Amino acid sequence: MEQQELQALLQAVAKGELSPKQAEQQLRTEPFSDLGYAKVDHHRAIRQGVAEVIYGEGKTADQIRGICQSMIKKGQKAILITRLSKEHADDLKLDFELWYHTLSRVGIIGDIPEPKGRGTIVVAAAGTSDLPVAEEAALTAEVLGNKVERLYDVGVAGIHRLFAHAEDIARAEVIVAVAGMEGALPSVVAGIADCPVIAVPTSVGYGASLNGLAALLAMLNSCASGVSVVNIDNGFGAGYQAAMINKQR
């Protein structure tokens, strides 16, 4: 059940179209479905405005299938599955109309909603090797109902490529900046933007990058104001946070 559906339920009670007891019964049966291996949270959209997202890594195809079936049964219109292997995606396509993005390992069941956020979320990636994480962020934000603009391969090694998009940066409501190696991109972006910047360190880089730890520490120590930092390779977390910032009031 989503927030709009809850409001419709309460309005039906107010108009006398539904008794309080009937409304109570609907709400009692909604909170979660116990599948044994998972308790699918059907009230998350009411509490947070966003339905539960499935983290695919570590789950079997049958477990993901069961969770999806439970969500669809309760009326979920769009389901986001992150870190989904191609093998599991091919298996799930036997039962669902699933769109799969190979690079980011994101699967989507249902239609991406029309943008309802206040403005545009810009996702900027330093290099092509950062695209799997950047696309995870971009697709997450889109599934959560946001307009997303992608600026790819705009790292500081050729900083003129970033400055060529100065107008796009100026128009952004929030920016997700994705970078590995020394992780400098978010600091530069935050130095020219007047909106929140979410920094995403990636595990891209040679040995001393320590699988993204160097970029993480650099971003945490950014001298630019307005930078928040998510975990290494956590494109989903960045896209989700950006959607919350851009949420329609």
Q: Supply the CATH number for residue 164's domain.
A: 3.40.50.1970
- Residues 240 and 133 occupy one common structural domain: yes
What are the Cα distances from residue 96, in Å, to 14, 21, 27, 52, 140? 38, 35, 27, 18, 19
178 touches 202 (CB < 8 A) = yes
- Residues 174 and 194 occupy one common structural domain: yes
Whether 80 maps to a domain, the answer reads yes
Q: pLDDT tens per residue, the chain (249 residues)?
A: 555 666 676 787 787 777 887 766 666 556 777 778 888 777 677 677 777 899 999 999 999 999 999 988 888 889 999 999 999 999 999 999 999 999 999 999 998 888 888 999 999 999 999 999 999 999 999 999 999 999 999 999 999 999 999 999 999 999 999 999 999 999 999 999 999 999 999 999 999 999 999 999 999 999 999 899 999 999 999 999 999 999 865
Given 110, 130, 154, which residue is the final one in a domain?
110
Give the pair of three-digit tokens for residue 195.
């909106």
Whether 42 maps to a domain, the answer reads no
- Residues 103 and 124 occupy one common structural domain: no
- Residues 103 and 165 occupy one common structural domain: no
Whether 161 maps to a domain, the answer reads yes
- Residues 185 and 79 occupy one common structural domain: no
- Residues 164 and 231 occupy one common structural domain: yes
Whether 126 maps to a domain, the answer reads yes
E strand or H helix at 175:
strand 174-179
- Residues 96 and 65 occupy one common structural domain: yes
**What are the backbone dihedrals phi and psi of residue 33, each rounded to the nearest 5 degrees, phi first?**
-110, 125
Interval 152-205: pLDDT, tens: 999 999 999 999 999 999 999 999 999 999 999 999 999 999 999 999 999 999
Residues of the domain holding 224: 120-245
The reported pLDDT for the residue numbered 189 is 96
Whether 187 maps to a domain, the answer reads yes
Given 110, 132, 158, which residue is the final one in a domain?
110
- Residues 87 and 129 occupy one common structural domain: no
- Residues 126 and 235 occupy one common structural domain: yes
- Residues 155 and 227 occupy one common structural domain: yes
- Residues 141 and 204 occupy one common structural domain: yes
pTM comes to: 0.85
Whether 30 maps to a domain, the answer reads no
b/e map 160-198, b = 16+ CB within 10 Å? eebeebeebbeebbbbbbbbbbbbbbbbbbbeebebbbb
Whether 1 maps to a domain, the answer reads no
Given 63, 78, 110, which residue is the final one in a domain?
110
142 touches 78 (CB < 8 A) = no
- Residues 104 and 168 occupy one common structural domain: no
